[in-house]
């Protein structure tokens, strides 16, 4: 068990779960007649994968530059997801989602 955790293999399992989640969401949406995955959900899954890959590379003792690239990719995906969810001037919030506004908080 120690080798599973310390060697970073647990992160392989987490990545497999992320890929499975994306596949299940895509199949679910296809069955119900919707497009594959919304871009913001895909961006969030990519951000999570980048963070998981960065953690795995640290535990595996990979080159520090690879860890930095994983973190930069995760940051880019997070920024993209935030940008897609944030209501822009002249564009309403995504359908089915409430736009964030400070007055909408309980």
SS3 of 21, please?
A: helix
Residue 64 in domain? yes
Structural domain span for residue 43: 2-88
pTM: 0.72
Q: Has residue 101 been placed in a domain?
A: no
Residue 12 lies in a domain: yes
Whether residue 6 has pLDDT greater than 70: no
Q: Kindly tell me if the per-residue pLDDT of 65 is higher than 90.
A: yes
Does the pLDDT of residue 74 top 60, yes or no? Answer: yes
Whether residue 103 lies inside any domain: the answer is no
Does a structural domain hold residue 84? yes
Looking at the structure of the chain, the number of domains it has is 1
* 76-82: long-range contacts, CB 8 A cutoff, minimum separation 24: 77/43, 77/44, 77/46, 77/47, 77/50, 78/43, 78/44, 78/47, 80/39, 80/43, 81/40, 81/43, 81/44, 81/47
Is residue 102 in some structural domain? no
At 100, is the pLDDT very low, low, confident or very high (cuts 50, 70, 90)? low
What is the tens place of the pLDDT at every residue in 15-60? 999 999 988 888 888 888 777 667 878 899 999 999 999 999 998 8
Tell me if 106 is assigned to some domain: no
The answer to whether residue 104 is domain-embedded is: no
């Amino acid at each position: 068990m120690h080798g599973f955790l310390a060697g970073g293999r647990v992160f392989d399992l987490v990545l497999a779960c992320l890929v499975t989640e994306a596949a299940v969401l895509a199949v679910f949406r296809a069955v119900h007649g919707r497009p594959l995955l919304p871009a913001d959900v895909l961006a969030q899954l990519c951000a999570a994968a980048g963070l998981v890959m960065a953690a795995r590379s640290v535990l595996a003792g990979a080159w520090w530059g690879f860890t930095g690239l994983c973190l930069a990719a995760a940051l880019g995906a997070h920024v993209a997801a935030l940008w897609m969810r944030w209501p822009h001037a002249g564009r309403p919030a995504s359908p089915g989602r409430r736009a964030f506004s400070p007055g909408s908080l309980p």
